[in-house]
Amino acid sequence: MKKIKKENQILIMLAFFSISVGLWGNFRQLWLQDNKFSVTNISNILSIGTLISVIIIGLIGKYIKLDKIKNMLVIVLLVKVINVFLLYFLNMTGYTELIKLSIIIDIVTEYIVITSIYPLITTIIKTGTIYSKRRLTEYLFRDVGILFGGMLIGKNIAKIFINYNSCLFISNIFLIFSLVPYLIFV
């Protein structure tokens, strides 16, 4: 019973994280365009972020033991929360190099979390269905984030215009929510 509770806590964390990723990931490139990045620059930033992600995930796989993966993920999530707040405040400042670095950090942290959830769950419970549950949770709630952002963008809610930067802020709220069940999980 305790294993199922821990599994559900991880899946709840993944759901909030996936909403955040869907909401922000869907508008990240448009946010960059609003910040005067060209399509070529955006493509280069995303490519560099993905390449660095692969390298870091390989190093994590080699050097981080399964019993330390939860602590590593909490740190990565905290770094992502701080980084997304930084991006929010960098909007329209013209600090292109800092924005590039921050976007790369965002991509790397996103990939680390997504690729580390399954090994974390398997330290608790090993069933044939757990991988399917993880994928279903990730994809379903990522789509919820995309839908949520699509419904909000361009609207005035409580006299606040919802733009790409607003979606970034809302995304960070879901990211913070993703930490709550994770910090409770022991």
- The pLDDT of 71-95, averaged and rounded, is 96
Rounded to whole angstroms, what are the CA distances from 6 to 10, 42, 70, 131, 185?
A: 6, 38, 12, 15, 6
Q: Which two tokens stand for residue 26?
A: 């869907």
In CATH, the architecture of 2-184 is Up-down Bundle (1.20)
Where exactly are the structural domains of the chain? Answer: 2-184
DSSP 8-state secondary structure symbol assigned to residue 95: -
Q: Could you tell me which residue, 161 or 172, shows the higher pLDDT?
A: 172
Report yes or no: 70 and 116 within 8 Å, Cβ to Cβ.
Answer: no
Predicted TM-score (pTM) of this structure: 0.93
For residue range 87-143, list pLDDT tens digits in order: 999 999 999 999 999 999 999 999 999 999 988 888 887 777 888 899 999 999 999
Q: Cα separation of 176 and 170, whole Å?
A: 10
How many CA atoms does the CB half-sphere of 146 hold within 13 Å?
9
Q: Give the residue carrying structure tokens 């996936």.
A: 18
